[in-house]
Amino acid sequence: MKAEIKSEAKIGMVVILTFAIFVWGLNYLKGINLLNPTNHYYVSYTQVDGLVKSSPVTLDGYQVGLVRDIEYQYNNPGHILVDLDLNNNLVLPQGTKAIIESELMGTPSVVLKLGHQGGGIIESGDTLIADRIPGMMDQLSNGLLADVQKLVQRTDTLLASVETLVSNGSLKNSLSSIEKTSKQLEQISYKLNRSMDKQIPAILGNVESMTGKFSDAGTKINQIDFASLNKTLNELESLSVKLNNPDNSMGLLLNDKSLYLNLNSTAANANNLLIDLKERPKRYVHFSLFGSKDTK
C-alpha cells in the first residue's frame, strides 16, 4: 500500500515538474524568463499598429523587456491598454515615453525614450506616456498614395470631360472645322504661290531696270568735271562777296540806302507828275503850244 502511494506521488511530482518545465519553456520561447524578477508598467494607446504579445521592448536598441499583455478597454472605446514587462534593474525617470515603432517587415515594437533625470522615478505599476511613430505605410498613405489618389481623381474627371465632349458632337464639329480651315489655307497657299510665280519675274525685271538706271546715273555722276564745278562755285562765292561789299559800284547799288531813297523819291515825283498831267492836261498842252510859237 505504501509502495503504491509512493509510486503515485512520484508520478504526480513528475507531471507537475513536466508542466512547470513546459510553462517555463513556453514563456522562455516568448522571451519571458520566469526566473528573473520584472517590473510591470502600463501604457494606454489609441493605435497599436498590429502590436502583439511578446513584442520586444527596447532601449537604445537593446531589449529590456517585452509586451506582456494587450487589452482593449471596452469601457473606454478608442483606448488599448498595453502591459509592459521590464527588467527590474531598469529605472525609469518621470517623462519616459513608450513609443510604438512600426517596421516595414515584421511586427511593431515598443521603444523606450527616457525622461530627464532628477524629476522623480516611475514606480512599477504606473503608466508611461504613450507615443507613436508613423510607419512607412502611413507615410505613403498620407503622402505618395494621397497624391496618386488625387491624380487618379483628376484623370477620371478628365476622361469624363473627354467622353462628354465626344458624345455631344463638339469634338467632331471642331475637327470638321479644322479640316475646312486646313483646306482653305491650302487653297490660299496655292493661289499665293501662283500669284508670286507671275509677279516675281516682273518685280525682278523692274528691280533690274531700276538698278540699270542707278548705274547709268552713277556713271554720269562720275563723268561730271568736279574741278570745273568747284571753280564755278568759287566764282559765284566771289561774286556774292563783291555784291555784299560796298567798296564797288555794284555793291554801292545794292547796299547804298540813299540811292534807294533817291530812286524812291524820283519814282514818287514821276507818279505825281503823271497824276497832275492826267488831271490838268490843258495846262501842259497850252504851255507847249505857247512855247512852240516863241520858238518860231
Query: Along the 296 residues of the chain, how does pLDDT read in single tens digits?
Result: 556 666 777 777 777 778 766 665 665 555 555 556 788 899 999 988 888 888 889 999 898 988 989 999 999 999 999 999 998 889 999 999 999 988 766 678 899 999 888 878 999 999 999 998 876 656 555 556 667 777 778 888 888 777 776 676 666 677 778 888 888 888 888 888 777 777 777 777 777 788 877 777 777 776 666 677 778 888 788 777 766 666 666 666 666 667 667 777 888 888 887 887 778 777 766 544 445 444 44
User: Amino acid letter at 210?
Assistant: M
| Burial per residue of 167-180, b for 16 or more beta-carbon CB atoms within 10 angstroms, e otherwise | eeeeeeeeeeeeee
Residues β-bridged to residue 58: 63, 111
Q: What is the pTM of this model?
A: 0.41
User: Amino acid letter at 18?
Assistant: T
How far is the C-alpha of 23 from the C-alpha of 277, rounded, in Å? 170
Radius of gyration of the chain (CA): 65
Retrieve residue 23's grid coordinates. 510553462
How far is the C-alpha of 48 from the C-alpha of 71, rounded, in Å? 11
Helices (H), ranges, the chain? 2-29, 136-142, 144-167, 170-223, 226-244, 249-255, 257-279, 281-295
Retrieve residue 276's grid coordinates. 497832275
Residue 70 near residue 83 (C-beta atoms within 8 A)? yes
Crossing angle of helices 257-279 and 281-295, rounded to 10°:
90
